[in-house]
């Protein structure tokens, strides 16, 4: 199992558990060392998740939101349209990533939660200081989007599809 998938499953386990889960239980579950689990928890914390280590195990202090990955494609000029569509529908754009044929997965954390964040990102890209990540894959890119419910994510998916931004995978 890849580390990223393991961390997703760790997050799901501790987020849905009624009691703290000890590192040695997680290590046994994923057939890795306790130290690997400690490192995974450190990475989850670095990504902004509120995980606490108690004397009985790990606890997630915030509720887990629904998340979904959307594969999209649009022009540079439509970056704001895509972002505002997702945010106004109740989503949070966690990241952007592309799958490059040579370099593999290239990602960047975004944490876009309002229209101002989207517009600031666009302005920084328009300034010419950097190109958008999607430019290395001819506009194709992925976003991890979180929301309070699966229903909100379903609505976002339908809105992206209706605008022609969604690529069916």
Quote the CA–CA distance of 153 and 157 in Å, as a whole number.
6
Report pLDDT digits (tens) over 87-123.
Answer: 999 999 999 999 999 999 999 999 899 999 999 999 9
pLDDT at 64: 61
DSSP SS3 for 18: coil
DSSP SS3 for 169: coil
Which residues touch 61 (CB under 8 Å, ≥6 apart)?
Answer: 50, 51, 52
Residue 105 Cα to chain centre, angstroms: 13
Mean per-residue pLDDT, 128-145 = 91
Mean per-residue pLDDT, 119-131 = 88
CA distances from 112 to 91, 138, 151 (A): 9, 23, 20
Q: Find the helix or strand (DSSP H, E) in which 98 lies.
A: strand 92-100
Decide if pLDDT at 129 tops 80: no
Quote the CA–CA distance of 152 and 154 in Å, as a whole number.
5
DSSP state of 32: S
Taking each helix axis as running N to C, give the angle between helix 23-30 and helix 3-16, from 0 to 180 degrees, rounded to the nearest 10: 130
């Amino acid at each position: 199992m890849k580390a990223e998938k393991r961390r997703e499953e760790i997050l799901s386990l501790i987020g849905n558990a009624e009691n703290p889960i000890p590192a040695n239980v997680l290590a046994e579950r994923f057939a890795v060392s306790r130290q690997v689990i400690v490192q995974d928890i450190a990475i989850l914390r670095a990504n902004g998740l509120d995980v606490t280590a108690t004397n009985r195990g790990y606890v997630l202090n915030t509720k887990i939101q629904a998340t979904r990955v959307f594969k999209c494609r649009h022009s540079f000029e439509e970056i704001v349209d895509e972002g505002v569509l997702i945010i106004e529908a109740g989503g949070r754009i966690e990241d952007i990533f592309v799958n490059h044929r040579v370099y593999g997965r290239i990602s960047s954390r975004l944490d876009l939660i309002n229209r101002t964040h989207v517009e600031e990102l666009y302005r920084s890209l328009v300034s010419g200081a950097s190109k958008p990540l999607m430019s290395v894959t001819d506009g194709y890119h992925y976003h991890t989007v979180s929301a309070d419910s699966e229903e909100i994510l379903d609505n976002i998916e339908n809105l992206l599809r209706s605008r022609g931004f969604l690529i069916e995978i």
